[in-house]
Copies of this chain bind each other. A is one copy, B any other.
Amino acid sequence: MDTKAKIAVLERAKLFGGLARDVLAASAESAQIKLIEKGSVLFQQGDEATSHYVVAWGRLRLDQTTPDGKNVVLRFMGPGDLVGSVAVWRGVPYPATPLAVEDTRLLVWSAARMMDLMQCHPPLSMKAMVMMGGRIEELQERIQQVATQQVERRIAATILKIAGQSGRKVETGVEIPFPVSRQDLAEMTGTTLHTVSRTLSAWIDDGILEGRRSSHLTICRPHRLVEIADQA
């Protein structure tokens, strides 16, 4: 992967998209490459935070384990997404574990390198703030959901969000191109595997969804899901 290819990745990255040519070039040059296989982790929750990552290809699931052993899926991350930066900036351990759900390639910067880049290119730190702001609003919306809405609506909203970020059009509808298990959905919506399974079964019977398997989940009638997610 040469600098040119790195720049191409950065152009589509949330932190860098739209920035000036020279910023991209400088950033790309100082980036290392890292490859991790499906099923392995990028780092462990609790590790000292030393690096910033941007996903070039592939997909990660960000998991947080609670002290009492429960697991929460914070989000899925794909090409262009920034990983680990918040902890590096704050100087605290990584608060969650990114697990590759596909073979994944990332760009890597050390804390010091990225700090340099930001000092030299103020627009980069502005961009970072805008991005983090987006995360904050997303999280607030999710709190609002899990605090006020019932399970069925939360599951519908979660599936729609994943599909919106990563869905691919296929002939029968919109397919989610990486495996999302019932367990994953449960850990994203704050419910149990069983309740998710029952809910999806009902939707499959209604023709809203297809795919009893964690891979190949496909939405056949998106508008019906939207109705469920938005119903008062």
Contacts and interface: CB of A to CB of B under 8 A. Distances in A.
A76 to B, nearest CB: 15
A136 B134 contact: no
Interface stretch (A53-61, A139-147, A172-180, A218-226): A139-147
A170 interface: no
B133 A133 contact: no
A144 B64 contact: yes
Interface string A99-121: 00000000000000000001100
B143 A87 contact: no
A143 B142 contact: yes
A74 B137 CA distance: 11
A147 B190 contact: yes
Contact of A232 (B68, B72, B87, B146): B68
A154 to B, nearest CB: 10
Interface string A67-80: 11010101000000
A212 to B, nearest CB: 25
A202 to B, nearest CB: 22
B148 A70 contact: yes
A132 B66 CA distance: 22
Interface in A131-171: 132-137, 139-140, 142-144, 146-148
A26 interface: no
Contact of A143 (B92, B126, B146): B146
Q: Which 9 A-B pairs have the closest CB atoms?
A: A147-B190, A139-B139, A86-B133, A90-B133, A132-B132, A70-B148, A68-B232, A125-B125, A72-B144
